[in-house]
Amino acid sequence: MKRLTRYEKNAQQISRGDAFIMCDFYGFKFLAYFILPIILYAIRHTSPRRYILYRMIQDNTVKQEIEDEWKGVRSFQSRIQAHLNASGGMGGVGATHQLRNISHNLTLLFAFSVLETTLKQLRDESVFNESRNGLKALMHSSQIHIPWRNFDLVDKAREDRNRVAHDQEILERGECWNIIDGIENELVSWNVVSTKIPFNH
């Protein structure tokens, strides 16, 4: 076997080093162009909670508007209840049971309006796809992309809201309170509303 000179050995070592560098380079390109997109796709489509935290409402102005609207819901709710409570004291006759319920049903409609605005904004920011603007379509299209805490509760409440809005049915005010609490739980968990707002019955 031919013995290699010192220069030939050095040349072989350099060639091997170049080969390793080339392997590293092409390995990095393979990772960047093929592996990472697959990982990102998997995170986006199999881990909706991580995705929604990353893709939560990007427009800070709209986010603030929605949060202010929700504060308005809670403020309206508390003011109604305070007036209803006051009307029953100080020798007053007091509001009828039906009037108490009607007052809180109006607040319920306001709360669902905020939820609808939120879902439309998330749709517009491509968190999920839906061409229709109806609340039912928005809710069901968002279900696998947004980490709903209790989708069934809010979906059933949506049907109750429709009966209030279109058929003039009136829910008991306690039902309205529970539904509004449920909507708030979703908005807080999605980081649209920063914190829960207490409501004193």
Global pTM value: 0.72
Give tens-digit pLDDT for 155-178: 999 999 999 999 999 999 999 999
Identity of residue 127: V
Alpha carbons 42 and 48: distance in angstroms, whole number: 10
Q: What are phi and psi of 27, to 5 degrees?
A: -65, -40
**What letter would DSSP give residue 114?**
H
DSSP symbols for 25-47: HHHHHHIIIIIHHHHHHHHHHH-
DSSP symbols for 160-196: HHHHHHHH-----HHHHHHHHHHHHHHHHHTTSSSS-
Q: What is the pLDDT of residue 86?
A: 86
**pLDDT surpasses 60 at 97:** yes
Helix, strand, coil share of the chain (percent; to 5): 75, 0, 25
The residues near 12 (Cβ < 8 Å, ≥ 6 apart) are 4
Cα distance between the two ends of the chain: 97
